[in-house]
Amino acid sequence: ATPPASRSLRGSVSLGDEAVCPGIEAHDRAWRGGAELLFDGVKKHQVTLPGQEEPWDIRNLLVWIKKNLLKERPELFIQGDSVRPGILVLINDADWELLGELDYQLQDQDSILFISTLHGG
């Protein structure tokens, strides 16, 4: 049997809050703007992370996101080895600060949501 650390992990990475805009039509996306512009216009990504020796944590996930999902202007999303200040990270709807932030070890079917707080309201 394969030890857990080298099995691939599946989950989702979401940007902004798809859940709060139910039923949004495709044509509305023309002005939705927001973070998904950095990610090829896609708000929710189903992700499979390849199995590897080291366990997957948020720190590694960000590196992976930068390499595989982020299409432009990485500095708007990532700063150093973390997210830009002002970006909230929710892991399964919980504040990542409660779960160890970058050190949180990803588990299968985890859902990671990034929400920006950096705009007027």
- The residue within the footprint of another protein, chosen from 7, 10, 16, 65 (CB under 8 A), is 16
From 5-13, 48-56, 58-66, 91-99, give the range in contact with another protein by CB under 8 A: 91-99
- Interaction pattern, residues 39-78, with another protein; x per rule: CB under 8 A: ----------------------------------x--xx-
Decide: residue 15, CB within 10 A, 0-12 exposed, 13-18 middle, 19+ buried. Answer: buried
Return the structure tokens found at 90.
Answer: 């929710």
| Structure token pair of residue 46 | 């189903």
102 binds another protein (CB under 8 A): no
Q: Which stretch binds another protein (CB under 8 A): 1-9, 29-37, 43-51, 60-68?
A: 29-37
- Enumerate the β-bridge partners of residue 116: 87
Q: How far apart are CA 39 and CA 17, in angstroms?
A: 14
